[in-house]
Structure 1
Amino acid sequence: MKQNFVAGIMLLGVFAFTGLHAQTLSKPTGPVILTITGNIENTNTDGKTAEFDRNMLMNLEVVNQKTMTPWSEGVDVYRGPLLRSVMSAVGAKTDELSVTALNDYSAKVPKKDAEDYDVILAMDMNGKAMSVRDKGPLFLLYPFSSNPSLNNEVIHNRSVWQIKSINVE
């Protein structure tokens, strides 16, 4: 009987552990603004893709980031989910991301950047939703003001705006 009890506890542990990793995301109810594909565990469409609308992204770990950028004048306040929170939500399993813009510009971004810095997918600038005209709907933004060493050509090239998709490679 003791062996059955121990086996039952172990089986419950396996189910609990599995449940923590493989999850189905809720489905978007508004327009899809971000599609994530590749080596991810958590999906909400065809078992291979995660789609997000604005509300889904804003329900992740969202922060305000007050920073200047090489593409704007002065300091602005950006708001959006931390990239590491988005990657956690989809269960990203690898170390490199390919971030693609609406115009098909693409940049390779190490997932480690999201762990080392408060990189966000900026959705709002100075309290207003970012339009395509203003680098929206999503702008991969590094904390340039709080970490001046990020103000270099490599990071500038990773700072994709008008993001439509991320492939976890």
Structure 2
Amino acid sequence: MSRRSVLLAISAAAAHPFSFVSAHAAGDFDDPAEKLVSVTAGRGRTTRFSRDDLAALPQTRFETKAPWIATPAVFEGPSVAQLLRAFAPEAAFERAEIAALDEYAATADVSRLVADDAIFAIRQNGAFMSVADKGPALLIFPFDDRPELKDKPHFGLCIWQISRIRLS
């Protein structure tokens, strides 16, 4: 992205708070090779992952429905456990703060996310999810396979347009 493009996007964002996400989404955000999701542990190590990077990890796939999905869809992506192994194979984390492009964030126990089979979905019905359709990644649970997960706390953790994961 050129300096001019960045300056135009910043001016647009100042005039209209959501225009930066919209303007940027049409470009780099939908490139599977673009490093869009940053994972950070404490004050130290940060790794940025692209959808291609996430797709290279072992994938979990399930079909499910949620309140914001009209019909069941097939979601595919690395499990929380797989992403953590790729980030820091020897580390153990207790908490994860997951934030979206619009800065919406939720915090959860890592052990709960792993036990509840959460995935960072990067594909829906076989196609990479665009930013306009909840991409680059969506934290989602297998609600249809595990009906006990169909509750407000789990629905509240289903963050889309994930841009940042902070681990502690």
The alignment's TM-score, normalised by the length of structure 1, stands at: 0.75
Measure, in 2, the Cα distance between the counterparts of 1:30 and 1:55: 6
**Is the partner of 2:160 in helix, strand or coil?**
coil
Measure, in 2, the Cα distance between the counterparts of 1:122 and 1:86: 11
Measure, in 1, the Cα distance between the counterparts of 2:41 and 2:126: 32
Measure, in 1, the Cα distance between the counterparts of 2:120 and 2:93: 19
**Is the partner of 1:149 in helix, strand or coil?**
helix
State whether structure 2 residue 64 is matched by structure 1 residue 67: yes
Deviation at 1:110, TM superposition (A): 1.2
Alignment map for 1:44-59 (pairs within 5 Å)? 48-59=45-56
Alignment map for 1:19-98 (pairs within 5 Å)? 30-39=33-42, 48-91=45-88, 92-98=91-97
The alignment's TM-score, normalised by the length of structure 2, stands at: 0.75
Deviation at 1:63, TM superposition (A): 1.7
State whether structure 2 residue 148 is matched by structure 1 residue 145: no
Deviations 1:25-45 (A, max 9, x none): xxxx931121001249xxxxx
Measure, in 1, the Cα distance between the counterparts of 2:96 and 2:66: 22
Deviations 1:92-140 (A, max 9, x none): 4321000000000000021012321221111111111111111111000
**Percent of residue pairs bearing the same amino acid type:** 30
Measure, in 1, the Cα distance between the counterparts of 2:105 and 2:34: 22
Measure, in 2, the Cα distance between the counterparts of 1:71 and 1:52: 26
Measure, in 2, the Cα distance between the counterparts of 1:48 and 1:95: 16
What corresponds to 2:156 in structure 1?
Answer: 157
Structure 2 portions without partners, runs of 5+: 1-31
Measure, in 2, the Cα distance between the counterparts of 1:116 and 1:94: 14
Measure, in 1, the Cα distance between the counterparts of 2:58 and 2:113: 13
Deviation at 1:88, TM superposition (A): 1.3
Q: Which is higher, the Rg of structure 1 or of structure 2? A: 1
**Is the partner of 1:34 in helix, strand or coil?**
strand
Moved more, 99-108 or 47-56: 47-56
